[in-house]
A and B are shown apart, each in its own frame.
Chain A
Amino acid sequence: MRDISNELVIKAAAGEISAFEDIYRAASGFVYNIALRVTNNRSDADEVTQDVFLSAYNKIGSFEFRSSFKTWIYRIAVNTAINHCKRRIRREKLITAYDPAIHDAAAPDKSDETLRRQEIEKTVVSALEKLDPDQRACVVLREIEGLDYRSIADALSVNINTVRSRLKRARERLLTLRGKE
């Protein structure tokens, strides 16, 4: 995520939509990727991303600069994505398995590079499907976003040992299920 200055945050909190758009441009990439990988579904990722930025717009006036703005956005993004996942599971909808129509919509050609990317995408989606939302969030923040344990703990508002425990269980699960394939 590009740096977001305190001045930009203050302007957005005062209601300047252009300042909030600058914040969106800087943060939308990582918010969307978190939403996509935690929900493991593109239409859910769209919905979660919208919810995150609407929530950020409504709450930005109460942001007090006690944490970094990036951590604050991470927290909203991860919690929104996890809650969305859990609501979906409670409604007993099927988590979308790898669906070429959804994941490969923009790749009509079949060059070697495209096929390689599709294969990687398929592996990632399939692996994430095996994890519960809390484990998935930890893996996404660690492996895809590259956060350290302390930053993950801050984003999820849990202690560092909980992060360690979730990562361990996620990896054990992946190894166990892979061994059965």
Chain B
Amino acid sequence: MRCKLVRELILTDHTDGEMDPRGRAEVDEHIRSCAACRELKSAVTAQAVGPFRLAPKEDAPPYLWERIKAKIAAEDSLRAASRSFFPRFIRTVSGKVPGLSRPAIAFAMAAAIIIAVIMTRPYADMALLDAYLNEQVEFITKLDIHETNGSDIFDIEIRTGAENIL
């Protein structure tokens, strides 16, 4: 077996136990007879693999679950508040202003919310801000009548925009 191939295997499959027994035996035989490949095997084990295999595993800090739970509760509250407020508001406005369509109201509200959030609510976590904004825009724009199967807006199940982050 040639050194070039053995070196490739030492850096990958042979070291990681990905070879079949016959292939592994051939590489082992070559390593026994080749000083250069034996030296490479020793270096890979000591410097590129060994240190990581000794790395300690740690538990997540105890405070993380409380933080996650608090954020979940905050997001759930926002969703619940959005579902009750916006349908009533849009129906009221469209009823009082003839000719003003619901899609127009929906997009105007989305723009107003984006501006209001950016101006007034500091978010340390931009990912959370993106999730919140995506969710609000998606929810409000889906209030348009052609997105629904019926007239009762409260039958709509809206998936959160946070799903679109990853």
Contact residues of A with B, CB < 8 Å?
17, 20-21, 24, 28-33, 36-37, 46-47, 49-51, 53-55, 57-59, 61-62, 76, 79-80, 117, 120-121, 123-124, 127, 139-140, 142-144, 148-149, 164, 167-168, 170-172, 174-175, 178
Contacts and interface: CB of A to CB of B under 8 A. Distances in A.
In this complex, the member of A31, A79, A175 whose beta carbon has the largest number of chain B beta carbons within 10 angstroms is A175
Nearest to B51: A123
A62 B59 CA distance: 28
Contacts of B56: 117, 120-121
Interface string B24-64: 00000000000000000001100111011111111111001
A17 B69 contact: yes
24 contacts: A17-B72, A20-B72, A28-B59, A28-B60, A29-B59, A32-B59, A32-B60, A32-B64, A36-B58, A37-B55, A50-B68, A54-B71, A54-B72, A58-B75, A62-B163, A80-B166, A124-B51, A124-B52, A124-B55, A164-B12, A168-B12, A171-B49, A175-B47, A175-B48
Nearest to B157: A61
Contact of B166 (A76, A127, A167): A76
A121 B16 CA distance: 22
Interface residues of B, number: 42
Nearest to B65: A24
Nearest to B13: A164
Contacts of A32: 58-61, 64
B52 A127 contact: yes
Given A28-B64, A149-B16, A174-B47, A33 B58 contact: yes
Nearest to A33: B57
A144 B48 CA distance: 12
Contacts of A171: 11, 15, 44, 48-49
Contacts of B165: 55
B8 interface: yes
Contacts of B52: 124, 127, 139-140, 143-144
Nearest to B15: A171
Contacts of A37: 55
Nearest to A121: B56
Contacts of A127: 51-52
B34 to A, nearest CB: 17
Nearest to B10: A171
B160 interface: yes
Given A49-B60, A124-B51, A144-B55, A58 B68 contact: no
